[in-house]
Amino acid sequence: MTAATGPHPDKMVRGTNNNAMPKRFSFAAFLCVSVFGGLTLSAAKPARADVLDQIQKQGELRWGGDENGGGPYVFPDEKDPNTIRGFEVELADMLAKSLGGKATFIQGDWEKVPELIDSGRIDIAMNGYELTPDRQRRYLCSVPYYVYGFQLLVRANSPYHSWADLEGDKKRRPKIGALVGSAALAYLRTIPNIQAISYDGTTDSMNQVVGGVDDGTLQDDPTAIYYADQFPELRRVGRPVSEGYYVVLMGKQETKLKQAIDNALEQFIHDGQLKSLYDHWNLSGKAQMLALGDLRGVAAPTAYPSFADILRNNWRILLEAAGMTVILSVLSMPLAVLIGISVACGRMYGPWLVAKPLGLYVELLRGTPLMLQLYAIFFLLPKIGVALPALAAAIAGLAINYSAYEAEIYRAGLQAVPRGQMEAALSLGMSRPLAIWRIILPQAFRIVIPPVTNDFIALFKDTSVCSVVTVVELTKEYDILAMSTGAIVQLAIVTATLYMLMSYPLSVFARWSERRLANA
């Protein structure tokens, strides 16, 4: 990716991204990457060349962010989606120029971008990353370049007019959304009587408030200001709370790079470049310069808690998340099987007018990603007045998606039953539906037990995708805890063990069922 040289100084050309992290890991991928990455990380660090020297030698500063996070940070240009805009795009250009190079943007999942520093794929991470104790432990943090606060937004006709209204609601726990992995989400989790809901995008959370799914959303004030015109249905509640700082993240050993970036940021503050940048993006440049002041004396990071402490403090959360995985699987799989059998019978024995649409149903669901289907159910249906709770949307999405695969499995099972079985049943005077129910389906069930069991085990792991509709199951909880505690490998092993404990009994049950049916 190369910096834009066109007429818009605040744009950057978006190039091919071979380094982007996938939105969601499959379970196997997540475990392998976590364990392998964690084990190799420490060994790789000492061998890396000095990053500042490398930047100056190659004339390129590789910086990571997530353009899906939206404005005013980094976002695609409405007129030319191949370019990106945002105040951090311009700030990256300024930093790169001061270091003697040009800025190259690397796209990644917002939560995962800092991990690209560890793997050497980027030099810095800069995308509204808050200064937190965990990030201080894991990375070198620059001096702050922006002072933010959390702004609560609710619907214009909401009965909530203050934080006290939310905390004092005796009838229900208000649902407030925030960006996953953000300091805003961590802040919400400290407030009693509030359900903190995590979203992958800031506008997703705003849309759910507009659609009536959530009661409010907590955003960093730059986001609230930037999207004020696009979401006129939302109203601010009070003034921003809990001040914090955005910083540039670098590798723990890159002291020379940190010094150079600190010097550059301080120079931008003193010569007015940073004020001009913030004024250009309507971010109150003068107020920011006064707030930034001299912030070199940020608190020193504290040591990581021990793994025993992490487990002791979080075992209930992990078990609850594992329970959510079980609930999603146990409720969605029977629905998927029921729908799948109906579709398979309709395609096998129904008239053309039934069989053809059912065939299209199967191909449509098999040809589109589960994540997209979940997104449509949870985020698009509210726009036509159908707002499902997150858990119901997740179960419906899993059941509908897996019904297509179950339909094909049962269709194969039905085809494997000898044709003479149906003819014999009809010759005995059975009706066709009765013959299917009493003669054909029982034989097909026996045939399809192994693939159906495999599908059930696969569904266990695909529940991780449900985090896109804000359901926090086991993989998502692992993700949250690993990022906040730094115990990536240890928690991956614990999570993998929980998955094994849940899925292995299914394999045992499948073998037992096969033996029992074979002897029947």
Rounded CA separation 126/60 (Å):
15
Determine the distance from the C-alpha atom of residue 102 to the mean position of all C-alpha atoms in its chain, rounded to a whole number: 30
The secondary structure element, H or E, covering residue 62 is strand 60-65
Q: pLDDT for 172-211, tens place per residue?
A: 899 999 988 788 988 998 888 899 988 877 888 898 899 8
- By residue count, the chain amounts to 520
- Taking phi first (over 0 means left), then psi (-120 to 50 degrees means alpha), and beta for anything else, what does residue 202 get? alpha
The pTM of the full predicted model, rounded to 2 decimals, is 0.68
Q: pLDDT for 381-402, tens place per residue?
A: 887 888 888 899 999 999 999 9
Rounded CA separation 44/54 (Å):
16
255 near 114, Cβ under 8 Å?
no
Beta bridge partners of 423: none
305 near 312, Cβ under 8 Å?
no
Task: Identify the DSSP state of 143.
Answer: S
Structure tokens at 210: 């507009």
From the list 100, 145, 121, the residue with the least C-alpha distance to 248 is 145
Question: How many Å from the N-terminal Cα to the C-terminal Cα in the chain?
Answer: 64
Instruction: Give the model's pLDDT for residue 44.
Output: 45
**What angle in degrees, to the nearest 10, is found between the helix axes of 87-99 and 255-270?**
110
511 near 461, Cβ under 8 Å?
no
- Positions of the chain with pLDDT lower than 70, given as ranges: 1-49, 294-304, 484, 517-520
Rounded CA separation 191/198 (Å):
15
Rounded CA separation 469/199 (Å):
8
**Residue 433 exposed, middle or buried by CB count within 10 Å (0-12, 13-18, 19+):** exposed
User: At 371, which amino acid appears?
Assistant: M
> Phi/psi at 220 (nearest 5 deg)?
-65, 145
Instruction: Give the model's pLDDT for residue 260.
Output: 94
The secondary structure element, H or E, covering residue 105 is strand 102-107
Instruction: Give the model's pLDDT for residue 202.
Output: 82
185 near 191, Cβ under 8 Å?
no
